[in-house]
Amino acid sequence: MARITLDMHINDALFAMSDGNPGAITVLLESIKRNQEIDPMNAFGPWGLMANLDEFEIYGPRIWGLYKNLCGEDLPRTTAVVRAVQLGLLSRETLDQAIDGKTTIDIKEVTGKVREELPDFRIS
């Protein structure tokens, strides 16, 4: 079940998504600042990554694990992996297993597929 709504104050949304995890808060704040630069086609604008993470029920330390462990502390790659699930290029189950360290994802391949689908998407 979704934790955020688009009419929420940003502080409430950050608290709801982060479960108080400082790493998750950092990732979410950075995504709000950089979303237009990274993913200008996201319909949710600056809330894009946060809305997608909420849709896929990725919260708190799992946000930090996705960013740090799976995507090498690279926000564009993190955003691309989440968008890959939204676009049907990667299953939600595979993403969940990769965040939990039960499988791996070829990040370069996934980001390439996202770029094919979304030419304006910017990977660092």
Q: Where are the domains of the chain?
A: 10-117
pLDDT in tens, 36-61: 999 999 998 889 999 999 999 999 99
Taking the C-alpha atoms of residue 63 and residue 27, their distance in angstroms, rounded to an integer, is: 8
Q: What is the pLDDT of residue 6?
A: 74
Rounded Cα distance between 114 and 63, Å, is: 20
| DSSP state letter for 40 | T
**HSE-CB of 87 using CA atoms within 13 angstroms:** 20
Report residue 46 CA to chain centroid gap.
Answer: 12
- C-alpha 50/C-alpha 32 separation (Å) is 8
Compute the distance between CA of residue 46 and CA of residue 40 in angstroms, rounded to an integer: 9
Cα separation, 79 vs 84, in Å, equals 9
Return the pLDDT at 114. 97
* pTM of the model as a whole: 0.93
Packing angle, helices 48-55 and 10-18, rounded to 10: 40
Residues of the chain predicted below pLDDT 50: none
